[in-house]
Structure formats: C-alpha cells, structure tokens
A and B are shown apart, each in its own frame.
Chain A
Amino acid sequence: MKKNHFYFVTLLAGIALLSATKPFIRAPYGLIKGTPEIKSVSALTFGKDGILFIGDSKSATVFAVDTKDAKKNETAAAVSVSNIDQQIATALGTQKENITITDLAVNPVSKELYVAVQYSDGTPVILKVGNDKIEPLSLKDVNYSSIALNDVYAEDAKDARGRPMRVSTISDIGFDNGKVLVSGLSNKEFSSTFRSIPFPFTDKQDQASLEMYHASHGRYETTSPIRTFTTGKINGKDYLIASYTCTPLVLYPLDELKSGLHVKGRTVAEMGAGNTPIDMTTITKNGETFLVMANTARAVAEVSYKTIAAFEGTLTEPVKGTAGTAFVQVPSLTKVLQMDKLDKNHVVIIQKKENGSMDLLTTTNEAL
C-alpha cells in the first residue's frame, strides 16, 4: 500500500511538473524570439514564408526575420506614390534630405513592398509601403536568427588590441534554393567577396573566389566587387548572374561556388563603361524570360535569357563600347534607383524624375 502511495505521489508530481513546464515550441527555420540588434540595413531580400533577410553592413551580419507576412497574394495592386522620399520623411518626422532609401524588396508571397531607410544619424528603419500606406516593420520581439559574415583572415586580422578592423560592406543580397547569397566589398583592400550561406543558418558559409574577364577593361579581374546580382536558369543550369562597375554581365555556375574554389566566370555581355549597375531582376513577357537591370548612368537595360543562353563563349578580347549578348534600353526608365519584381506581370521601381521628385511606380512587364 505504501509502495502504491509512493507511485501515486510520483505520478502526480510528474503531471504537475509537466503542466508547469511551458511547452517549448521552436519557431520554423530555427528562429528564436527576440529583438535583433540591427545597426544598418544595406540590402533586403525575401526567402520563403515571409522570411526577410536583412544585410547589415555595420555589424557584418545577415539577419533573417519572420515578418509574419505570409498570406498568399497572386496579383498585386499597382503601387504609385509620388514624392516617396518626402512622404517617408514626413512619416518619420523629418525632411527628405535627412533620409536615404537604401533598398526595396517585394515579399513574393504577399506582394507587400518593404523599403529600407537610413536616417542621417545612421538609424535604420524598415517600412511597409503601399498606396496611402507607410507602416513600420516592428523588429521588437520577433522570431529571428542571424549569422556573422566570416572574416577569412580570422585571428591575424585583428589589431594589436585584438579588435577586428575590417568592415565588409554588403552590396547586394539574394536568396536561391535554400541559400542566402551575399556580395560585398572591404573597406581596406579593393576586393570582392561572395558568400553562399545555407538557411536555416548554421555555422557553415561558403566563400569562393571569383574571376571574370572584364572586356571593357581588357583583362581578368578577380578583385572587382560585384555591385548587383540575381540568379537564373540558363540551358537548364542554375547560375549566379552578376554585374560590376563598368557593367560586364558575368555568369557563374551556382553549384561551383564553394569554399576554397576559384571559379572563372563567363562574361556574356559588356554593357558599357562609365556606369554602375544598381539592381537586377528577372521578368517574363510574351512567354519569354528577360533580365532587367537598372543603371546609374543610363536607362534600364533588358537582355533576353534566350540570347544569353545562345551566347556560349566568353568575351576575352578588349572591347570599346558594348559587346556580347545584345541588350535593349528602356528610354523612359532613366535614373531608376531601386527595382524589384512586384508580381509575375509587374515590376516596381523608385525613379528620380526630371522635375526632381522621387516616385515609386509600377510598370507592366510589357512596358519594359
């Protein structure tokens, strides 16, 4: 009887203990609840299920934040906001000269627009923007994870007091097939970094060294930093499609971008010197796929994937002007500062107009 009583008490205690313990529910993708310490927002991109990746140059870290914005929306409403910089500045309680729009990303699930803004004192803000809507993305008590960008020089890169001196600025960020892709450059050496980071984050990240032939420059260059990139399928194979200052368009096979490997890119187009590419995305119109690219010194350029696929060689001789895969320019789309795909039929852009206003507008794929 005494023994039975003991078992009964033990059972009760066990039940009490179980009921007192809060069930531990792990958020998807290994995210944990908290407030990420984001020091800057250089680049944004979306993964699956409303996961927003934030490239933070100041802390050399990529954050993954669950925006909880995962309600599926196939077709987005066209967005048109005149004087977007002024509107954002007013909503933040300041003047437009005190803010910089650092990136724009569309959530491919909900088609919501996310705009990264930096105040003149460095304070970063992420806003959800739409017609008659400017809302903050709260980063308080969210599910998130982060990964610090590895410094290849580790211990020896530290100064006499053991502090790392290097700053890796993130120039662009993308997500493809379960991996976060990050291009960057250093503040100390003229060098390019490209990382491929599996998500959910672990302690693994691949950093390959890339080499490309810069036809405008007439020589191989491994050190030029990638300014913008996207990914795409060409002849059935997945590629990193990257562009650099002076606008070479270079393909790297994604499956070769692994740590320790030196990968030679294939330069498929030389789109002209004196220009820096700003943003790139892929669209489909009339059943054909195109790469569209915004530029600092000229109009948005458009290249057909079919012609990229047909260009099997690589530019290896110096060129003056342009060469390689043919491209067309969209004359009405000059001074495009930000660009992303809104839905399968539309692209959203931020453009500086001739009258000085900065407008957020939507264009159909056909108009490109």
Chain B
Amino acid sequence: MRPSNHCISAHNSRLGSLSNLLFFVLLFLSACRYEPNEPRILFKENRAVSVLIPEKIYAGIDADSLNTLVKIRLAKIENATSILGEYRSDHGLIFTPLIPFTQGTDYEILVKGLTAAHFSIPLANSTDAPNLTTCYPQQDSLPENLLKIYLQFSHPMREGLSDKYIRIIKNGTDTLQDVFLNLQPELWNENRTVLTVWLDPGRIKRDLQPNLRLGNPLQANNTYQLQVSKQWKDINGRVLQKDYSKKFIVTQRDSICPNPEIWKMNLPKSGSPESLVISFGESLDHYLLMEAMQISTTEGVSIKGTFEWDSFDRSCRFTPAAVWMAGNYVLTIASRLEDLAGNNLNRPFDRDMTKTKKPSTQELYKKYFRIEK
C-alpha cells in the first residue's frame, strides 16, 4: 500500500505542478488579452493616476512632437481645453494629469486635433463604501455647553462639505440653524478620516452677543439628534453606506474644570502585570485623552505600557509592559486636557477675563501614587 500511496502522491504532485503551470499560462494569456489598441488606465491606491496611450493611436508622430500633437481633454464638453499634466514615453505614451482622473467621467484623446480614442473612468466599487464608524462623545447624555464633536470615518472623506451634511434636530422637529462654527479649511486629521466639529463658541459663552442673540446651541432637558447624510462622499466618490443618526439628551451646563486631585486610582500590587485604573468622575475629551497622560517613576523614568479608555472616556486603564515594581510613581497630565465642555485643567472655557482671577499657566499637572509590595 505504501508504494502505491507514494505513487499516488507523486502523481498528485505532478498534477499539482501541471495545474500550477496551466494557471500561470492562463494568467499570461489573460494578460496578453490586453489589446494594445485601446488606452489603458493606470491605477494607484484606487485612483486613476495615468493613462497609457498605445503607439497605434499616435503612429507616425515624431517623438519630439508628441507633447504638442497628442492631447487629452474631457469628452462631451464643447471646446474643452487640454488637461494639464505630464507626458512620458514608456511602451507607449503615458499621460499623468495634475490630479487623478475623475470617476464616472469620459475623456477623449486628440491626435493632431482629431479625436483618436476615448476612455472612461469606472465608478468606484460601492461594496467598499465608507462608513461613519464612531461619533465622539459616544454617550447619549451631554452637557448643555458641549463644545465639540469628532466624527470618525472608515475611509478618507471629501473636505469642505460638513455644513452641507451634518445637522442637529431638536425634539424631533426643529433643524437647528448656525450651531456649528464655520471653519474653512475644516479641521481634518492628516489622512482625512477624523473631522473635528465645533459648536459655535460665541453662542456657548454666556452673555456674548451671539449667545444673547441666538441662545446656546443646545438647551438642557431637550432631546437632540445629530444626523449625518449618507450623501457625503469619500475621496473616491463613494457615498456613505447609510445615514448616521445619534440621539442624545442634554443635561446641565458644566462649568467646572477637570481636577486630577479628585480622580480615583485603583492601584495594582508590585509584581503584578495588572492595569492601573484611573477614574475621572466625568467624561473627558476623547482625542485629547490619547495624548495627555504619561506615567513615570518619581525619578523621571518613563514606564512603558498602553493606555486604554472606556467607551465614554470616563476612565482609563494603563497596562504596563512589565510587572509593577514597588515604588513611587507619578501620573503627569497635560493641562490642556479638556472635558466635554472645553474646560481644561487651568481654566473653565467660559470665563469673564475682566472679573475672574488670572488662570494658572502651568503646562503639566502631577498626581503621585505608590505601588506597595
């Protein structure tokens, strides 16, 4: 039986090799099916960055004249000007426009002023449509003087459109007007996946003219709905998978600064890899939290580890990379850490500078703790 098995195994192996060979031959043939009479679009990161124009399309034109005699322009537009970009020869003529070609758009190639070929850029694959993954703060109970909202998307989004697609509805009926601070350019992170939206600070600060004229954007004891339209497109032109809606109730104004002195710490024992848990007693700003804290020994040696925050940003958990050693430690907090109303460790967001004392200017706050044996 064994030799036979071996034989079958060898046979299978040969079959495997043959099938592999067949696969590559078919792949090669399919690659060869590209008929070099047609322009071919070259993609990079899902963007149509160039077009390869085969030689047959511009046959007979001197290499030095290609830049002047071959042009690309929008199709179906009367007297459209040539598209700005660069030409280079590489197994044909490659044209790279200044910006990528636009999806769902038709283009034509002119040779000596006459239409020689057309090409179209397909629409983006909608199966990989973007999504609004999270809106911070995540809780459904927010202070009247909520200062900002972060919208986190799954894909890089188009900029400059937030006022068109974001709205807040009060008690299910009234669409609020002029609640957001109109900022151009908008505040996107570098890869355009997180947008910071400010509720108008002029309306939040009491007794300011916008506040007196229009009132606070949100009022306590009312129900609101933040809505984001699915018509918002990502950078590849795909709309969101669905409309986003977040319902929340507004509570009283928060005018008190976060105070690390009253934060509670759940301390692990020495020799333990367990997490240190810090409870803030209120929700803090999601993104500022991610950069505001550091743990070190009182001698200044930084403790490596990871911070994690609960979904409402009311507490954080620091898990050390190594087990805790007995000794004295310090949690250092940047003073610019804010709560949901923009109150930071040094000053409340809304204060009359002519009446209140000068706020602290310290950049860091320290909270000491000890890990016991």
Chain A residues within 8 Å of B, Cβ to Cβ: 39-40, 42, 57-59, 87, 90-95, 98, 100, 102, 118-123, 125, 127, 134-136, 153, 156-160, 164-167, 169, 185-190, 211, 214, 216-224, 245-246, 273-274, 276, 296, 318, 320
Whether B192 contacts A122 by the Cβ 8 Å rule is yes
Partner of B99 from the list A119, A134, A186, A214 (CB cut-off 8 Å) is A119
**A274 CA / B305 CA spacing, docked (Å):** 47
Secondary structure type dominating chain B contacts: loop
Question: Could you tell me the distance in whole angstroms from the C-beta of B214 to the nearest C-beta in chain A?
Answer: 9
**A360 CA / B28 CA spacing, docked (Å):** 53
Q: Which of B189, B209, B236, B332 has the most CB of A within 10 A?
A: B209
**A273 CA / B107 CA spacing, docked (Å):** 47
Whether B187 contacts A185 by the Cβ 8 Å rule is yes
Partner of A217 from the list B80, B102, B182, B209 (CB cut-off 8 Å) is B209
Whether B198 contacts A190 by the Cβ 8 Å rule is yes
Report how many residues on chain B are interfacial, defined by Cβ distance under 8 Å: 70
Whether B100 contacts A57 by the Cβ 8 Å rule is no
Whether A187 contacts B237 by the Cβ 8 Å rule is no
Return the CB mask of B167-198 against A: 1 if under 8 Å, else 0.
00000000000000111010111101000101
Whether B84 contacts A165 by the Cβ 8 Å rule is no
Whether A320 contacts B209 by the Cβ 8 Å rule is yes
User: Given that A120-B235, A190-B147, A190-B201 are contacting pairs, would A167 and B209 also be in contact in the complex, using a CB cutoff of 8 Å?
Assistant: no
Q: Is B105 an interface residue (CB 8 A)?
A: yes
> In the complex, what residue of chain A is closest to B160 when comparing beta carbons?
A100
Find residues 258-307 in chain B having any chain A CB closer than 8 Å to their own CB: 285, 287-288, 290-292, 294, 305-307
Question: Could you tell me the distance in whole angstroms from the C-beta of B283 to the nearest C-beta in chain A?
Answer: 16
Whether B192 contacts A166 by the Cβ 8 Å rule is no
Q: Is B73 an interface residue (CB 8 A)?
A: yes
Chain B residues lying within 8 Å of A87, measured Cβ to Cβ, are 81
Whether A273 contacts B291 by the Cβ 8 Å rule is no
> What are 11 A-B residue pairs whose CB atoms fall within 8 Å in the complex?
A58-B190, A90-B77, A93-B101, A100-B159, A122-B156, A167-B187, A169-B187, A188-B288, A190-B201, A219-B353, A273-B213
Whether A246 contacts B209 by the Cβ 8 Å rule is yes
Whether A219 contacts B189 by the Cβ 8 Å rule is no
Q: Is B352 an interface residue (CB 8 A)?
A: yes
Chain A residues lying within 8 Å of B196, measured Cβ to Cβ, are 187-188
Q: Is B205 an interface residue (CB 8 A)?
A: yes
> In the complex, what residue of chain B is closest to A158 when comparing beta carbons?
B291
User: Given that A91-B83, A125-B98 are contacting pairs, would A156 and B334 also be in contact in the complex, using a CB cutoff of 8 Å?
Assistant: yes
Q: Is B217 an interface residue (CB 8 A)?
A: no
Question: Could you tell me the distance in whole angstroms from the C-beta of A104 to the nearest C-beta in chain B?
Answer: 14
Q: Which of A93, A123, A153, A217 has the most CB of B within 10 A?
A: A93
User: Given that A119-B99, A122-B235 are contacting pairs, would A93 and B83 also be in contact in the complex, using a CB cutoff of 8 Å?
Assistant: yes
User: Given that A134-B81, A167-B189 are contacting pairs, would A95 and B353 also be in contact in the complex, using a CB cutoff of 8 Å?
Assistant: no
**A273 CA / B200 CA spacing, docked (Å):** 12
Chain A residues lying within 8 Å of B290, measured Cβ to Cβ, are 159-160, 165
Question: Could you tell me the distance in whole angstroms from the C-beta of B155 to the nearest C-beta in chain A?
Answer: 11
Whether A190 contacts B342 by the Cβ 8 Å rule is yes
User: Given that A94-B99, A218-B209 are contacting pairs, would A120 and B354 also be in contact in the complex, using a CB cutoff of 8 Å?
Assistant: no
Chain B residues lying within 8 Å of A273, measured Cβ to Cβ, are 202, 209-210, 213
Whether B81 contacts A42 by the Cβ 8 Å rule is no
User: Given that A136-B98, A169-B187, A219-B354 are contacting pairs, would A93 and B159 also be in contact in the complex, using a CB cutoff of 8 Å?
Assistant: no
> In the complex, what residue of chain A is closest to B80 when comparing beta carbons?
A90
Whether B84 contacts A91 by the Cβ 8 Å rule is yes
Question: Could you tell me the distance in whole angstroms from the C-beta of B89 to the nearest C-beta in chain A?
Answer: 18
Chain B residues lying within 8 Å of A185, measured Cβ to Cβ, are 183, 187
Question: Could you tell me the distance in whole angstroms from the C-beta of A130 to the nearest C-beta in chain B?
Answer: 14
Whether B349 contacts A190 by the Cβ 8 Å rule is yes
**A125 CA / B183 CA spacing, docked (Å):** 21
Given A156-B334, A320-B209: 19 more A-B contacts, CB < 8 Å? A59-B190, A93-B74, A120-B233, A120-B235, A121-B156, A122-B156, A153-B334, A159-B291, A167-B187, A167-B188, A169-B183, A169-B185, A188-B287, A189-B288, A190-B342, A216-B208, A217-B205, A217-B208, A220-B354
Q: Is B158 an interface residue (CB 8 A)?
A: yes
Chain B residues lying within 8 Å of A121, measured Cβ to Cβ, are 47, 99-100, 156, 158, 235-236
